């Protein structure tokens, strides 16, 4: 009997020991539980120095007013921390910004909002888990969290605020849940390691510059719920090769795909009532307006369809492969910066219905050797032909009554200019307010001189002095 009792005691002690070991293991898994910032500081001060890959795990039952004190305690201790927040009193996350030693954080379901700049500048933060109770991620909430590689967004989030993940340079992927309806301006701008993004059907709007300068982004899927794509939404996504516009999009903002130098095609769902595409080029539905020719599209010549009457702003910007573009006669508008940076473009015609050459239309077309300005043009706007370095001669028809600042500036090989009509001095002279001349050298002075006016003026290459011939 005594032996049986001893055996039983040994078994009971074994069970107790197992429970103790399991409890200790669980404690080490979830970290030390602490209830005040002072206690956190004391605990961290007693821990050895560590590295970001071996953070001290801490669980804290917190409320809103405690958060700045928690950040101060972590920074003051100088120890890397993995923080598991708990507590039903915690409903909003704010004031953890600049917590430089915070490596990871888990946000509980009690939290409904992550406030403005809540974690901005947390430079060691690599991982964030957002609970399902959170409905909004505030402006610049994770701004400049340069080490952030992993974010789990809970299924309750409906809005991602302006600049929420701006400059999270190490973020390679993120899953946007089907609860999100809006993505704010600059929300993921300069997330330079982000390679792919899927925008769910719940999202209706993509904010201005939302994914701008995501230079590693190769794949984008836009959900069928999206109705508007903001200005510059994918600006300078240099690795993006193609994109499909779904049928409900009715607004594509200015510069939405500018700087996408690898983009070979913009495809539009055939059911879209506003936009269409042909051979990867973006038009309106009736193909009367050309919106965007993809900068990475192959081929050195392009003939614009006869149906087109308007070429919108930046349509051919940085299309460096194009040497020749044919514009149909019925085009009456060529917008701002249309051929900006088309460095290989040698030839382009301006139709006789065009009345203005807008700002920076041919800016930086360094290979353009000649161009004919039709007699319909009344105004040549600022920097229209700026840095057209191969242009040697130009004739200004008598219809032109205004030439704005820098219109032909830095056209270093321009040695012959013919004026077929008189331009009022107030529309042509030097502007002291802005310091802007229309041509290099003293051409304006010669033109406005007593013996100037209609005629041909010449100079030596890169020379300052112009002489009427």
The reported pTM is: 0.90
Phi first, then psi: give them for residue 127, nearest 5 degrees.
-140, 135
Token pair of 23, please? Answer: 């409890």
- Give the integer Cα–Cα distance in Å for 409 and 108: 60
How big is the chain, counted in residues? Answer: 469
- Give the integer Cα–Cα distance in Å for 415 and 413: 6
- Write out 150-197 in H/E/C secondary structure: EEECCCCCCEECCCCCCCCCCCCCCECCCCCCEECCCCCCCCCCCCEE
> Are the beta carbons of 184 and 164 closer than 8 angstroms?
yes
The DSSP symbol for 66 reads G
- Give the integer Cα–Cα distance in Å for 217 and 159: 22
Sign of the CA dihedral running 341, 255, 193, 99:
positive
- Give the integer Cα–Cα distance in Å for 85 and 134: 14
The DSSP symbol for 408 reads B
DSSP per residue, 275-329: EEEETTEEEETTS-EEEE--TT---SEEE--TT--EE-TTTTTT-TT--EEE--T
Tens of each residue's pLDDT in the chain, 469 residues: 545 444 444 444 443 343 333 333 333 345 689 999 999 999 999 999 999 999 999 999 999 999 999 999 999 999 999 999 998 899 999 999 999 999 999 999 999 999 999 999 999 999 999 999 999 999 999 999 999 999 999 999 999 999 999 999 999 999 999 999 999 999 999 999 999 999 999 999 999 999 999 999 999 999 999 999 999 999 999 999 999 999 999 999 999 999 999 999 999 999 999 999 999 999 999 999 999 999 999 999 999 999 999 999 999 999 999 999 999 999 999 999 999 999 999 989 999 999 999 999 999 999 999 999 999 999 999 999 999 999 999 999 999 999 999 999 999 999 999 999 999 888 887 766 566 789 999 999 999 988 889 999 999 988 899 999 8
- Give the integer Cα–Cα distance in Å for 321 and 302: 10
Beta-bridge partner residues of 220: 197
Q: Strand 219-222 and strand 242-245: pairing? A: unpaired
All structural domains of the chain, each given as residue ranges with its CATH number in brackets, are 299-469 (3.80.10.10)
């Amino acid at each position: 009997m005594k032996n049986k009792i001893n055996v039983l005691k040994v078994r009971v002690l074994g069970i107790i020991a197992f429970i103790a070991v399991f409890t200790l293991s669980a404690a080490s898994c979830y970290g030390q539980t602490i209830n005040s910032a002072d206690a956190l500081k004391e605990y961290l001060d007693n821990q050895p120095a560590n590295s970001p890959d071996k953070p001290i795990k801490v669980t804290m039952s917190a409320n809103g007013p405690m958060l700045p004190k928690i950040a101060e305690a972590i920074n003051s201790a100088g120890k890397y921390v993995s923080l598991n927040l708990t507590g039903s009193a915690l409903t909003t996350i704010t004031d953890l910004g600049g917590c430089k030693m915070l490596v990871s954080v888990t946000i509980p379901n009690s939290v409904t909002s992550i406030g403005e700049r809540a974690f901005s500048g947390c430079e060691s933060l690599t991982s964030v888990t957002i609970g399902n109770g959170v409905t909004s991620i505030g402006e610049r909430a994770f701004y400049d969290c340069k080490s952030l590689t992993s974010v789990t967004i809970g299924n309750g989030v409906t809005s991602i605020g302006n600049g929420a993940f701006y400059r999270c340079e190490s973020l390679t992927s993120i899953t946007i849940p089907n609860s999100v309806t809006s993505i704010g301006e600059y929300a993921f701008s300069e997330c330079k390691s982000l390679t792919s993004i899927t925008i769910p059907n719940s999202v209706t709007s993509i904010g201005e510059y939302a994914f701008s300068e995501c230079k590693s982004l190769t794949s984008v899927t836009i959900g069928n719920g999206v109705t508007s794509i903001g200005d510059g939404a994918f600006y300078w996504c240099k690795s993006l090769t193609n994109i499909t516009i779904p049928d409900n999009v009715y607004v594509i903002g200015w510069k939405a795909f500018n700087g996408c130098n690898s983009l070979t095609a913009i495809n539009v769902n055939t059911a879209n009532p506003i936009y269409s595409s042909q051979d990867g080029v973006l038009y309106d539905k009736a193909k009367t307006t050309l919106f965007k020719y993809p900068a990475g599209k192959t081929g050195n010549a392009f003939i614009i369809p006869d149906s087109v009457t308007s070429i919108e702003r930046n349509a051919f910007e940085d299309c460096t492969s194009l040497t020749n573009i044919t514009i149909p006669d019925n085009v009456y508008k060529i917008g701002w910066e249309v051929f900006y940076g088309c460095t290989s473009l040698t030839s382009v015609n301006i139709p006789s219905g065009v009345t203005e050459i807008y700002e920076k239309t041919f800016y930086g077309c360094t290979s353009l050797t000649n161009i004919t300005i039709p007699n319909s043009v009344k105004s040549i706007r600022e920097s229209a032909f700026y840095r057209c370095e191969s242009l040697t001669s130009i004739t200004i028809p008598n219809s032109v009554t205004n030439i704005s600042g820098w219109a032909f500036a830095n056209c270093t090989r321009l040695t012959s200019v013919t004026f077929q009509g008189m331009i009022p001095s107030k529309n042509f002279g030097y502007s002291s307010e802005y310091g802007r001349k229309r041509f290099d050298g003293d051409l304006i002075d010669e033109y406005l001189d007593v013996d100037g006016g209609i005629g041909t003026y010449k100079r030596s290459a890169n020379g300052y002095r112009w002489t009427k011939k």
